[in-house]
Amino acid sequence: MTRHQVATHCPYCALQCGTELSERAGAVSVSPSSFPVNRGGLCRKGWTAPEVLGSADRLHEPQLRTGRGELAPVGWEEALDRIGSNLDEITAESGPDAVGVFGGGGLTNEKAYSLGKFARVALGSSRIDYNGRFCMAAAATAGNAAFGVDRGLPFPVTDLGDAEVILLAGGNPAETMPPLMQHLERARLVVVDPRRSATAERAELHLRPRPGTDLALALGLLHIAVTEGWHDSEYTARRTTGFERSWARAVTWWPERVERVTGVPVSAQRQAVRMLARARSSYVLTGRGSEQHGDGADTVSGFINLALVLGLPGTRGSGYGCLTGQGNGQGGREHGQKADQLPGYRSITDPRARAHVAEVWGVAEETLPGPGIPATRLLESAGTPGGIRALLVFGANPVLSAPHAGLARAQLSKLDLLVVADFLPSETTRMADVVLPVTQWAEEEGTMTNLEGRVLRRRALLPPPGSARSDLEVLRELASRLGQPESRFPSRPSTVFDELARASAGGPADYSGIDYERLDSGQALHWPCPKTPDEQASTPHPGTPRLFLESFAHPDGRARFAAVDWHGPAEDTNHEYPLVATTGRISGHYQTGEQTRRVAELATDEPESFVRLHPDTAARRGVHDGQLARVSSARGTTLARARLDGSIRPDTLFLPIHYGGSGCANLLTNPVLDPRSGIPEFKVAAVSISVAEEVRACHDS
């Protein structure tokens, strides 16, 4: 019996663990490879990923909503013709910006690139953004401002294995990225988290700030570093600029004030700074917990400032980094599906970038639209005067992932046309007028870029089921119906990648020296990897695993301190809503759970939404362990099973983001946006909690 096998990567988080996929008699199995980030390990999600490939409700055929309101199977030509004609009508009546495009951080580089090109060339619309706006935007904004370029980790993951001390602000990799923990085993961990997460349990020092006060804590740590003699003034003078303006803000954040605001004891603040400063090798890392705030970019800037004052970034064996979350969260934001960017991580307002990309695309520069609007505002504009009338969604589930999910659902219901390309039914496909079945990870070729900026090959093991097509084929067919030549939108992944490489040439994320041949030969290529001149073609650029060792990416080679201050979350507690809810991820599920909730082992272990709360808080509210609870905010109500946890702050509730129906945590969250990055404030919502009637299972979709 023939056995087929390919080397590829896990479909979930941005570690992109190396795997070997095998197929025999229709059964698919997975085993880990010795890829550097996972070193032969996988998490539960990775081990069980093949089960999703055979989901009984896999989308096989296009579907159209009938006059009776039902979705019914149709052929591809009918579905695509309907979309094309409707888009023509809408743009003729209301202009190209009446059509929006919403992408995903799990799309391959080729898909993300083609989606951005499709929006700006075939549609002529500026209204494109992606779900990475919900998770990575704050760190990207702060990283660009500080260093001149944003790469989650500007060093290989394996460098963390030699660290003596690591401060991890707002991340829980023990649950969200378990294979990463083997690289943190030797380090003394300082974890910033309002709850005692699985990662915090392994920490030598756990700082538990009140949700929404992370920036105040960062300012306080900087204050201690400077006033107590830990400031690396030689590094600051030689490699940075802007320290004095930054210090003018931090000078008022003395430790006692920080303790009053955050709840973190003065002694713990001092211990954290001493641990970082005395270590021969130390890192500051941030995650979603510090980023998903109304001041998210400022908060990340605050922790970058701390790293800079200690002399860490751009130093071999020390540094700052961000733990990118989604599978292609790094590559997905580099090649044009973000509202303000063109391929190569270029600004869409940069005339030279526009001219270069327009030439690669074979269009006039003046026909390219300007910057769009952040994802949350894009969804909120649906069906409003001057807003979008149609939305095309690729690889995302915004009905669950958007803040104030009730409002997102209400606005999407006002659209004249909602098109969703996906491989499984979701809350968003169930609202769609047209559903297009597309390939998933084990059925497609392409590339991904992991959290350390390493470009990786995804390889196909299986043929697409039914009549499912690749997203690249879908975009080519739609572009053709909108009057574009088919040759402008190739569907072969390697051809798309070669064009992406040319379009990125000269940009911060330069892929021009990378091609499938080099990747397939096993070369480890981290961007930037520019194409070498023809006379040096025999010695191609080796890629850049470590950024900033010589200089930072600003024209003067210096990193920038940011002058930031804390003003508090957009929403405070009150008599009606006296508690703070914060959201996050758990080990058994991924993102909105559409894939992992279909895996029997994972669904059995974590079948329904839950809320963690302190026993004293539960006693005051009359809630018992295991009871169904009603958690309410000014925006909506979520039903979740109560889990009492003595390690969580008494003023804080924690809910996972992976469930639908009335168990959706984002029914509570605040759509207020960080003005710098457009990221929503997922981590702070004023709420109340009470006992709910046992009328249904919490995980209904």
Q: How many alpha carbons fall within 13 Å on the CB side of residue 301?
A: 29
Domain 137-323 matching CATH 3.40.1280.10: the answer reads no
* Average pLDDT taken over every residue of the chain: 95
Residue 624 has which token pair?
Answer: 């018992």
61 neighbors 76 (Cβ within 8 angstroms):
no
Q: Determine the topology of domain 63-134+328-491 in CATH.
A: Rossmann fold (3.40.50)
Under 8 Å between Cβ of 329 and 103: no
pLDDT at 599 over 90: yes
pLDDT score of 679 more than 90: yes
Predicted local distance difference test score (pLDDT) of residue 525: 97
Confidence of residue 697 (pLDDT cuts 50, 70, 90): very low
* 581 in Cβ contact with 648 (< 8 Å): no
Find out whether 259 and 293 touch, Cβ atoms under 8 Å: no
- If DSSP codes are grouped into helix, strand and coil, which group holds residue 633? coil
Tell me which amino acid residue 410 is.
A
Q: How far is CA 50 from the centre of its chain?
A: 23
Return the pLDDT at 2: 46
Give strand pairing partners of 421.
394, 436
Q: How far apart are CA 233 and CA 239, in angstroms?
A: 10
Q: Are 38 and 179 in contact (CB under 8 A)?
A: yes
CB 459 within 8 A of CB 444: no
Tens-digit pLDDT profile for residues 469-484: 999 999 999 999 999 9
Whether the CB-CB separation of 512 and 440 falls below 8 Å is answered with: no
C-alpha 174/C-alpha 189 separation (Å) is 12
Q: What pLDDT, on a 0 to 100 scale, did the predictor assign at position 700?
A: 45
Question: Which pair of tokens denotes residue 27?
Answer: 């059964």
Average pLDDT over residues 509-522: 96
Domain boundaries, the chain: 3-53, 63-134+328-491, 137-323, 579-691
Q: How far apart are CA 687 and CA 669, in angstroms?
A: 10
Does the pLDDT of residue 693 top 50, yes or no? yes
pLDDT digits (tens, 9 = 90+) for 374-393: 999 999 999 999 999 999 99
Q: In this prediction, what percent of the chain has a pLDDT beyond 90? A: 95
Is pLDDT at 581 greater than 70 in this prediction?
Answer: yes
In the CATH scheme, what is the homologous superfamily, with its name and number, of domain 3-53? ADC-like domains (2.20.25.90)
d(CA 76, CA 64): 10
Token representation of residue 441: 């990870």
pTM tops 0.75: yes
CATH topology for 579-691 is Barwin-like endoglucanases (2.40.40)
Q: Write out pLDDT tens, residues 645-671.
A: 999 999 999 999 999 999 999 999 999
Report pLDDT for 701: 40
435-454 confidence digits (pLDDT tens) = 999 999 999 999 999 999 99
Residue 699 is predicted with a pLDDT of: 45
Lowest average pLDDT, out of 23-27, 414-418, 525-529, goes to 23-27
Beta strands in 318-426 (DSSP E): 319-322, 341-342, 346-347, 390-394, 417-422
Give the tens place of pLDDT for each residue, 70-114.
999 999 999 999 999 999 999 999 999 999 999 999 999 999 999
